[in-house]
Structure 1
Amino acid sequence: MNSENNISNRYDVLVVGFGPAGAVAAGMLGARGHSTLVVDRLTDIYDKPRAIAIDHEILRHFDNMGIADEVLRHTAPFTASQHFGAQGQLIRRIDMVPAPYPLGYTPSMVFTQPPVEAILRRHAGSFDCVAVELGTEMIGLDQRVEEAVATLKDASGNIRTVTAKYVIGCDGASSRVRELSGMRLEDLVFDEPWLVVDVQVHDPTLAKLPQTSAQFCDPSRPTSYIMGPKNHRRWEIMLLPDENPREMEKPENVWRLLSPWLTSEEGELWRAAAYRFHALVADEWRRGRVLIAGDAAHQQPPFIGQGMCQGLRDVSNLVWRLDRVLKEQSSEALLDTYTVERKRHVQTLTGKIKAIGQMICERNPAAAAARDARILAEGDGKPLTITRQEIVPPIEEGLLAADGTPARGLLFPQPAIVEGASTRLLDRFTGPNWRLILDGRRIGAGEGEALVGGIDGIVIKAVAPEGEEAVDPAALREKDGVLSAWFDRHGAVAALVRPDHYVFGAAQNVQALRQQIADLHARLA
């Protein structure tokens, strides 16, 4: 990993914070050749798990970065979460969409954070253009017309200044970047005290624990149970009004709370931490040359495991924009759509998570009984199954085609492409670039190439199902019909796809595609 031995005073981008969001931002910037300095006031990775869930969108980015296989060694499928009502009855399930998986990966996964974070850091530090300074704190930030000037203090107390064209604050919930740049957090009105407990369960005990994740919506003590990878099990336990959070972190109290499931002889306590589950979002995510991402920009309750995913969505949304601006392919106005898109997405998803959380956190027995009856009634008396993927919204506004355009703001699917006796996922043929993907049954890549002149670096591919006739003999052949079914569902023959894998717009015919390309070209320029 590059270190302070590579000291410079001028960079394209300064990233403050080297947690998951900061490490992914630095790695994505490094892959695009931008001189980047990453600083973090801590000198090492926190050695206990905090985030526990990631999804197929994030694994897709990891694959684009070349680290998915390493990360997958520390993951497991996220089991369905069964919701049990006040009387212990099953009232609902939250699961993942079935195979064939739309993005090519298991849609919902649990993971172990410390080794995954180490992978992200190694990737970021592998680029010659990325310098990493640990034990270094940003203590001052001054914006100027052409650059930002940051004052840094290292572990020895030495102070120096560096300049950067842009600063990204990935420095957590108490972000110094957010504070110094004058951005403020808006309260989305959720505040509940919980104790999060991680246990490495001994092998003989695993069989007696629930064999799927669960929400125990018991008004006397709402509790979540999550099956992590291997022997890792997590309990999130609501604290009661008369309980002191610091006292409840003590091992004797933790084991008392866990006594319905296991004893201190049956597992090793890995972490016990009291939190207030908040719902907060920054009023602005960009001021001039300073931008924020991850926990610096938003915090939300953890009830469907989207906290870290949201931070990595932020940086994947931001970096391709910064790349274009730094390369003078687009004006700075392109950065304005970052706040528009991500703030709206966070607000919408947080609203859905809050509704789930308020359902789980109900403490009034009569209201809890009514809740259970209402949820069961939605399934005609039987527990309904919903998917985590339908809870996560599309992008609703921003750099998208006009309202009413098919598939605008949706994640674009990633089929398995047949190569002889093996398969590779579509992104391996296109990279995380602007893409024009064509339904090879109806339109060929040559026709697409004639339409997209002037959009920097766009990749054009036609895809058709294996075994079906295609108008383009060079079309890639997909194995499971995931993409052709998607085109059919949206009545589309082509899709313009952004570098972060969201659909700018899908077109129902060549004329509509021509109009969308003209719109995109004007807005990128």
Structure 2
Amino acid sequence: MNAQHRTFDQVSKAVHPDPEHFQVVVVGFGPSGAFAANLLGQHGIRSLVIDKQREVYDKPRAIAIDHEILRILDNLGLAEAVLPHVAPFHASDHFGADGQLIRRIDTVPEPYPQGYVPTMVFTQPPVEAALRAHAQALARVEVSLGSELVDLDAAPDRVTLTLRGDDSTRRTMTADYVIACDGASSGVRERLGIRLTDLVFDEPWLVVDMLVHEAALAKLPQNSAQFCDPQRPTSFIIGPGNHRRWEIMLLPGEDPRVAQTQERVWELLAHWLTPADATLWRAASYRFHALVAERWRAGRVFIAGDAAHQQPPFIGQGMCQGVRDVANLVWKLARVLDGSSGEALLDSYEAERSAHVRELTTRIKAIGQVICERDPVAARARDARILAEGGGKPRTLTRQEIVPPLTSGVLADEADPARGKLFPQPWVETAKGRARLDAVAGAGSRLVIETAWARTLTEGVLAAARAAGLTVIALAQSGTAPLAQADVTVVECDGVVRDWFSACGRAAAIVRPDHYVFGTAAEGLALAALIEAFSLGLAAPAPVAPAAPIAHA
């Protein structure tokens, strides 16, 4: 049979003759693991995902996502499936020790920089179920539920894993790489001997989720709120539909187990609701931590999501951080597995994500410390300081100001004003109407360039961009002829990218598959150097020395 006419399965078996060998095994099928599985499948990487639990947990834990995460969902073809379970995140009013408004945290106004509302709330169980179903339908992804990892042994050339099913059967397989998304108490992290660095935040809180009856919704705040009351700091979040969440700080001496009983929950919420007003969906006591793993990689094994970091929930970035982890790692794994880049590229995963998580967690911790102030005198001084920062009035911050850019890793020169920032996604005009840029031009490695400036470049510069694996996307004015050397020419509707280029004084940007900016340029020689730097940064360098094998668990 001619190789051109072989079936997908035949080609797969020829490349991977061992049915128990996978390019990547993902441990954990929670949100981070499910995103990883979908991204791996999208790249055509033969993967296995395992999880002890057969069903999605039916209670909400995460409640917030942002535009970066919804953009990834859209790239996966999942946005339409999850949008019914998503709603805009209401502005969050912060009230001081005496009940006065001291500041507000809101979202940036339209036009939105990523094509979606910048911050959203969502209902986790159906969104997680949609992620699982999509991954299970991918041809190159195998899902094994009811399977627990009982042994992991990593050699320099592969990882051997042993699973135990909930029917007590055992299965052994090998993998080129492993991504551990197995949660805060990660067994893989423990096997690797990776310790967590404590960023010094440890507070006991009670999280309560209510489904509020329609008639009682008017009794509650119409915005989300942080009550920075030294008597008992409390957060209130408006979820989708009639879902409302309270996060209530537990005081010294209060028993977390007692706090989550129905009787005590209704006592704590008596200021807002009675049992006739709502149905208790979930009540769980937690310790809010700020923890980051000392290492994110041991040879061919990586940790991600809650296995690698935990942060207080005050701006709803916990799940977002895990999705960023796997989005960062998977495109690099894809390049290494197809031979486009060398093994050393994978070292940039920890370099980029650890620094980003530490900086964002530090900022979240600072917000939490403001909210959690228990000393009344210090709390009033805090309120006066925050109001003074707004010129004597409550000022509005945006959540997007709090999330930092990348600062290290596969990025251009540090002098570049836009390196490490998220590249915008504008709405663009098409023959069929308006569409978001990614839907028209794709979401791989891209060179986005203003058409008028691109016409002044030599043909060699854009040819070098294509040789570097970049899709050339030209931004044109309405009525302008397409750029012949571009793969795609688009006309944006609201000037989002035009204004972004203007703000950083540039006219071209190299954008990575995870939507972070490698670097920007303002003239031809600089662009040629930027393309060369991008090629060198992703080229197959000499392999790094393999890590010491992991001890047999």
1:392-412: CA deviation from partner (whole Å, max 9, x where unpaired)? 000011100011013000000
Shift of 1:471: 8.3
C-alpha separation in 1, matches of 2:88 and 2:440: 26
DSSP 3-state at the match of 1:363: coil
Counterpart of 1:289?
300
Does residue 193 in structure 1 map to residue 204 in structure 2? yes
Is 1:345 equivalent to 2:359 in the alignment?
A: no
**1:328 alignment partner, SS class:** coil
Letter of the 2:365 partner, please give it. Answer: K
Q: TM-score, normalization: structure 2?
A: 0.92
Q: 1:320 is matched with which residue?
A: 331
Task: Choose the corresponding residue for 2:511, options 497, 509, 513.
Answer: 497
Superposition deviation, residue 519 in structure 1: 1.0
Q: Are the aligned partners of 2:94 and 2:226 in contact in 1 as well (CA < 8 Å)? A: yes
Equivalent residue for 1:210, pick from 221, 231, 242:
221
Pairs within 5 Å for 1:245-284: 245-284=256-295
Q: What's the counterpart of residue 81 of structure 1?
A: 92
Counterpart-to-counterpart distance in 1, 2:314 and 2:284: 16
5 Å-filtered alignment, 1:54-69, equals 54-69=65-80
Q: For 2:136, give the aligned amino acid.
A: G
Shift of 1:470: 7.0
Deviates more, 1:154-163 or 1:419-428: 419-428
Cα distance in structure 1, aligned partners of 2:431 and 2:148: 52
Aligned equivalent of 1:454: 467
Whether the 8 Å contact between 1:150 and 1:163 is mirrored in structure 2 is yes
The answer to whether the 8 Å contact 2:476/2:482 transfers is: no
Choose from 17, 20, 32 the match for 1:9.
Answer: 20
- Bigger shift: residues 144-153 or 305-314: 144-153
Partner residue, 2:104: 93
1:465 shift after superposition: 3.9
Partners of 1:135 and 1:155 within 8 A in 2: yes
**AA matched with 1:263:** T
1:477 paired to 2:499: no
Q: How many residues align?
A: 517
Query: Post-superposition shift, 1:429?
Result: 2.2
1:514-525 matched pairs, under 5 angstroms = 514-525=528-539
Mapped contact 2:59–2:281 kept (Cα < 8 A): yes
Whole-Å separation in 2 of the counterparts to 1:273 and 1:466: 54
Partner of 1:244: 255
Q: Secondary structure at the match of 2:282?
A: strand
Give 1:332 shift: 0.6
Give the partner amino acid of 2:68. Answer: E
Taking only the aligned residue pairs, the percentage that are identical comes to 59
Provide the C-alpha distance between the structure 2 equivalents of 1:446 and 1:194, rounded to a whole number of angstroms.
Answer: 61
Match of 2:49 among 18, 28, 38: 38
Cα deviation for residue 466 of structure 1 reads: 3.4
Show CA shifts across 1:207-259 (max 9, x none): 11100000000000000000000000000000001100000100010000001
Q: TM-score, normalised by structure 1?
A: 0.96
Letter in 1 for 2:168: G
- One-letter code aligned to 2:516: Y
Q: State the alpha-carbon separation in 2 of the partners of residues 466 and 441 from structure 1.
A: 12
The residue identity in structure 1 corresponding to 2:472 is: I
Whichever residue aligns with residue 462 of structure 2, its letter is: E
* 8 A Cα contact 2:466 2:472, kept in partner: no
Q: Is the 8 A contact 1:465 1:484 kept in 2?
A: no
Question: Where in structure 2 are the equivalents of 1:46-195 lying within 5 Å?
Answer: 46-195=57-206
| Cα pair 1:314 1:342 within 8 Å, conserved | yes
Structure 2 CA distance for partners of 1:44 and 1:201, relative to 1, 3 Å:
same
Report the Cα distance in structure 1 between the residues aligned to 2:158 and 2:359, rounded to whole angstroms. Answer: 33
Alpha-carbon distance in 2 for matches of 1:406, 1:439: 18
Cα distance in 1 for partners of 2:467, 2:21 equals 32
Q: Distance in 1 between matches of 2:224 and 2:305?
A: 26
Shift of 1:43: 1.4
Equivalent-residue separation in structure 1 for 2:253 and 2:195 (angstroms): 31
For 1:264, what is the secondary structure of its paired residue?
A: coil
Counterpart amino acid of residue 213 in structure 1: S
Q: Secondary structure at the match of 1:196?
A: strand
Letter in 2 for 1:138: L
Equivalent residue for 1:300, pick from 297, 311, 335: 311
Distance 1:92 1:404 in 2: 34
- Deviation of the 1:464 alpha carbon: 2.5
Q: Which residue of 2 aligns with 1:4?
A: none
2:11 corresponds to which residue? none
Amino acid at match of 2:26: V
Q: Which residue of 2 aligns with 1:488?
A: 502
Which residue of 1 is the match for residue 410 of structure 2? Answer: 399
1:446 CA drift (Å)? 8.2
Which amino acid in structure 1 is aligned with residue 491 of structure 2?
A: R
- Matched residue of 1:73: which SS? helix
Tell me which residue corresponds to 1:507: 521
**Matches of 1:280 and 1:492 in 2, distance apart?**
37
Contact 1:466 1:479 in 2 (8 A): no
Distance 1:386 1:375 in 2: 12
**Whole-angstrom CA distance in 2 between matches of 1:438 and 1:39:** 42
1:88: how far off? 0.2
Q: Which residue number in structure 2 is paired with residue 230 of structure 1? A: 241
Contact 1:401–1:408 (Cα < 8 Å) also in 2:
yes
CA shift for structure 1 position 103 = 0.5
Q: Secondary structure at the match of 2:219?
A: coil
Return the offset for 1:159: 1.9
> Displacement of 1:151 after TM fit?
1.2
